[in-house]
Structure 1
């Protein structure tokens, strides 16, 4: 738990909200936690890179502005939305901008720290799942390339699938590269030969 709170203190926090009682309560609590923070209103055109976490006021009127505001940024910030009421359009905005937590008005100091912790954890898990998914997709693509190369060799050389894989592996070891690289070379060569036949 202490590590999570220490991590929060390293966060640069931005509050996008009209300056009112809720904003003041929130900024006081963020200050108590020890984060560096800033306040902006209305919604700026772009989110400066220095901010890691954003508390943002969400209303029916802010929908299109918020979507483009968060879409413009390459590095994802932790997003905590602040809402005064729940209706389908507000909930749609929350989902569209990919919020990691929600605070309701009037903002109370008691819920701020837990929302920040949950939002950070949710975001880090999202990022981990995204990386794992990317790795899995790459692995599947590589398996597919090797399978395609095996079938090309089987067709051209009249050999079994096992023999085709053995050939690919042998070439990879001889050239000190991966079976995927060799498979891609075989696929490229097949494509070139097919195109030459068409001309």
Structure 2
């Protein structure tokens, strides 16, 4: 064997050894992946529950029930979920408004004890039915509550009634916000129409020209067209 061929053969031998080791390593990795025990998947429900607990820890809850066995259980469940709970008994003459959620025993004159107007609740209201008498559906309707829980309560019914009541209340708030914006838009449209007619009479211009005048005035003063319209109406009324 020629001495000059030795370096080349040694180089080829090194390449073959590296290739073989690389293939063996890949095979070992594949075997490890196949034999490795799979980690249990995270339970979405548990994660959501923990997230809900973190959010719900800020909730202030008024509990207006008699602290018998059922009432005490409900209070323990709410406290176990890390809510801040304040107990009231008997039912106060006026339902407190400075809470995020109010659990209140269903009594005959409860609608008169609710301080807010129907459709404009100050807090989420959950009615508590003791489960002793027949349900008074008319009374429940008149209370306009966001949820209802029956005694004896369970852990599941407690968290369900609270979540549904809270979501219902927040949904109502969003709807009221949209309605208020729509009402404001309608008022602005009426005001602009009235201001347009004044401009048309005073300047003897067309409807389009009157609107352009209002818009230009609003752009120059960097205010809304509704503000310009209000100013024109007020000035016109002052001048008679």
TM-score by length of 2: 0.70
* Partner residue in 2 for 1:94: 143
Write out the 4+ residue segments of structure 1 that deviate beyond 6 Å after TM superposition: none
> Which of 123, 128, 144 is the aligned partner of 2:190?
144
The count of corresponding residues between Structure 1 and Structure 2 is 187
Q: 1:125 to 1:4 in 2, by over 3 A?
A: farther
Residue 60 of structure 1 aligns to a residue in which SS?
Answer: coil
* Partner residue in 1 for 2:35: none
User: 1:90 deviation in Å?
Assistant: 2.5
* Partner residue in 2 for 1:192: 238
Query: Larger relative CO (CA 8 A, sep 6+): 1 or 2?
Result: 1
Structure 2 distance, partners of 1:189, 1:50, is 43
5+ unaligned residues in a row in structure 1: which ranges?
195-199
Q: In the TM superposition, what whole-angstrom CA distance separates every residue of 1:111-158 from its partner, at most 9, and x where no partner exists?
A: 000111111111111111111111111111112111111111112222
**Aligned pairs (5 A) from 1:74-113:** 76-83=122-129, 84=131, 85-95=134-144, 99-113=145-159
Residue 34 of structure 1 aligns to a residue in which SS?
Answer: coil
> Which of 163, 170, 182 is the aligned partner of 2:209?
163
Instruction: Say whether 1:15 aligns with 2:73.
Output: no
Structure 1 distance, partners of 2:74, 2:230, is 55
Structure 2 distance, partners of 1:52, 1:45, is 19
> Which of 67, 74, 84 is the aligned partner of 2:114?
67
Structure 2 distance, partners of 1:53, 1:36, is 10
User: 1:43 deviation in Å?
Assistant: 1.6
User: 1:193 deviation in Å?
Assistant: 2.8
> Which of 132, 140, 153 is the aligned partner of 2:199?
153
Q: CA-atom RMSD, angstroms?
A: 2.2
**Aligned pairs (5 A) from 1:119-134:** 119-134=165-180
* Partner residue in 2 for 1:197: none
Q: 1:108 to 1:102 in 2, by over 3 A?
A: same
Structure 2 distance, partners of 1:25, 1:166, is 67
Structure 1 distance, partners of 2:127, 2:54, is 22
5+ unaligned residues in a row in structure 2: which ranges?
1-47
